[in-house]
Copies of this chain bind each other. A is one copy, B any other.
Amino acid sequence: MSYQSRKQKILKIVEEQGEADVKELAQKVETSEITIRRDLALMAADGLIFRTHGGAMKLSLAIIPVSFEHKISANIEQKDYIARLAAKEIRDGDIIFMDCGSTVSRLCQFIKNKRIKVITNSLPVVYELSNTEVSINLIGGELDNKRQAVHGQIAVEHIRRYQADKAFLGVDGISLENGLSASSEKEAEITTAMSSNARQTYLLCDSSKLGKDKYLKFAPLSIVDVLVTNEVSDQLKPYQDFGIRILN
């Protein structure tokens, strides 16, 4: 059987069912899986179907929802508590940086009516703040699909062109001994750049991250001006002694 006729059969199945996996197509078209894969690759290159891992979908169904939620879903109340505290610090007219931390993105809901300019590398932040009172400056560069954020050299250069009043940043770990740490080099780079181009650096940090170290130590404690957290224990005292303002 020729590619042409297999193509027609595959197309028909995929259009009727919406999606189909390779095994199923191989059975129905009566050929091997490898041949189906090759056909699907050709058809996808022609824009006839959307190739998925393990099969194919019709184009109209191939809208992949951004799965950012699951990361946020952990500790929502804590994050919202922190975000609310941080939002109170923002004044109309402020120019602020927001990075792609999950706590930082919870800030959006509380600032939609503020007359401020937000400079951000985070797509979820952009989506949530677009068509609000907030004016948005999007940081350009390579998009990291997993994090739904822009990273890289170009992004850092973009940040350096701006001077902001406040930076609202997230980290993966913070400790007295090792300062700020992250599990992604690219995120750390952005965080550092934002911090150094803002008059005041706010670190949004839930209790699970306090006293923790991640593999990449990227900045000393001294870059932090304000630590916003839900933690209330005297674990915070040393940070305060260090000169960091605590908001909780």
A residues with a Cβ closer than 8 A to B are 1-5, 8, 11, 15, 18-19, 21, 41, 44-48, 50-55, 57-64, 66, 68-69, 84, 87-88, 92, 109-114, 123, 126-128, 130-132, 135-143, 145, 148, 150, 154-155, 158, 161
Contacts and interface: CB of A to CB of B under 8 A. Distances in A.
A113 B45 contact: yes
Nearest to A111: B47
A54 B2 CA distance: 7
A60 B50 contact: no
B113 A140 contact: no
A19 B6 CA distance: 11
Given A15-B68, A54-B2, A130 B148 contact: yes
Given A2-B53, A3-B52, A130-B145, A44 B113 contact: yes
A192 to B, nearest CB: 18
A112 B50 CA distance: 7
> How many identical chains are in the complex?
2
Contact of A4 (B3, B50, B110, B154): B50
A138 B128 contact: no
Contacts of A4: 19, 50, 52, 57, 62
Nearest to A12: B68
Nearest to A68: B15
Nearest to A115: B45
A4 B54 CA distance: 11
6 contacts: A2-B54, A2-B57, A8-B62, A48-B64, A138-B141, A138-B150
Contacts of A131: 64, 66, 145
Given A11-B64, A143-B138, A123 B112 contact: no
Contacts of A69: 15, 58, 60
Nearest to A130: B145
B135 A142 contact: yes
A62 to B, nearest CB: 6
A132 B5 CA distance: 28
Nearest to A6: B52
Given A64-B132, A109-B59, A140 B139 contact: yes
A193 to B, nearest CB: 13
